Amino acid sequence: MMPQDEKRFQEKIRAIQDTMFVIGGKWKIPVILSVYRGNRRFNDILASIPKITNRVLSKELKHLEENLLISRTIVSKYPVRIEYTVTDYCLSIDKVAKPMEEWGKGHKKKISKQS
Amino acid sequence: MMPQDEKRFQEKIRAIQDTMFVIGGKWKIPVILSVYRGNRRFNDILASIPKITNRVLSKELKHLEENLLISRTIVSKYPVRIEYTVTDYCLSIDKVAKPMEEWGKGHKKKISKQS
DNA sequence: GATACCTGTATACAAAAGGATACTTAAAAT
DNA sequence: ATTTTAAGTATCCTTTTGTATACAGGTATC
């Protein structure tokens, strides 16, 4: 039998790996933030995130849609016009994104200080 | 000139990408947690994290050491014995890891509910 | 009729991350 | 003398991620 705290440790690992699967990688949170910020159209999102390419953006949007964080709506058929918006559920990401933002800012200072 | 909030948005993105660079990926936080938990020796850490391999662990430890989160000490030369410990600075990761753990647990429920 | 706009997809490729397995070095245990 | 242990490294391979560029399909504009 596995000790209680060992079991809890394994669950912790799994939960964090699940989170990483959904919002990990270089682009997923930036895409969410961009849409959250008001960029609803593909090319606007594309332009708002430095160095992202259309292929990567397309894939990330699909992944986020599958994970219920972004919704995609066809607002006009001719011409094709799509709108991306964040879901209500997506707002929960803020609880993770905010700490990450703060930690990143602090880390930059830390690293530049030691040199 | 870029508007103020646009500039702040770009900084946000960069901060999050910096964080992702340091602790992103499948294994980095699990490794930190394992060491924090008391696993100090290579093979103990290896055994504590399901499915990680020695090659990957070796690389992750090096990366974490370079980013001041883990420290590596040679405790005995013959035989070689190394000890890994978390740095004081590493404790700041908890501010990110905890929300990720919670979000991951909630997400699993969310996904299983919709099916 | 030619060209540009929008929202992507298709193709080809390069780089990074992750995985499987064997090996090393030197001491300690049997 | 052989095996085991510790802490990795070396080699090769697969998968994922990212990049570059071209193209599609339909509308609108010149």
Q: Read off the pLDDT of residues B75-113 as tens digits, 9 standing for 90 and up.
A: 887 678 899 999 999 999 999 999 999 999 999 898 888
Put simply, the answer to whether A97 touches B14 (Cβ < 8 Å) is no
Distance B33 CA to D13 C1' (A): 30
Token match 């660079």: residue? B21
- Residue B1 is predicted with a pLDDT of 63
Token couple for B72:
């590596």
Judge whether residue A56 contacts strand C, using its CB and a 7 Å cut-off: no
Touching check for A114 and chain B: CB below 8 Å?
yes
pLDDT above 90 (res B4)? no
Touching check for B75 and chain A: CB below 8 Å?
no
Q: What ipTM describes this predicted complex?
A: 0.88
Name the residue among A13, A93, A103 with its Cβ closest to that of B19: A103
Put simply, the answer to whether B17 touches A30 (Cβ < 8 Å) is yes
Average pLDDT over residues A24-30: 90
Are the beta carbons of B96 and B23 closer than 8 angstroms? yes
Nearest to B96 by CA among A30, A10, A98: A98
- Residue A1 is predicted with a pLDDT of 63
Query: Residue A102: pLDDT band by 50, 70, 90 thresholds?
Result: very high
Touching check for B94 and chain A: CB below 8 Å?
no
The C-alpha angle B59, B92, A97, rounded to 5 degrees, equals 90
Query: How close is the nearest chain A Cα to the Cα of B78, in Å?
Result: 32
Q: What are the helix (H) ranges across B24-93?
A: 28-37, 42-48, 54-66
- Residue A111 is predicted with a pLDDT of 84
Distance A1 CA to C13 C1' (A): 50
> Which nucleotide has the least CA–C1' distance to A53?
D19
- B85: three-class secondary structure by DSSP: strand
Average pLDDT over residues B9-26: 92
- Residue A115 is predicted with a pLDDT of 60
pLDDT tens, A39-78? 999 999 999 998 898 889 999 999 999 899 999 998 877 6
- A51: three-class secondary structure by DSSP: coil
- A5: three-class secondary structure by DSSP: helix
Distance CA A85, CA B19 (A): 25
Touching check for B13 and chain A: CB below 8 Å?
yes
For chain A, which domains are there? Answer: 4-114 (1.10.10.10)
Are the beta carbons of A112 and B24 closer than 8 angstroms? no
Interface list for A 22-51 with B (CB within 8 A): 22, 24-26, 29-30, 33-34, 37, 48-50
Put simply, the answer to whether B49 touches A13 (Cβ < 8 Å) is yes
Q: What DSSP element (H or E) covers A109?
A: helix A94-114
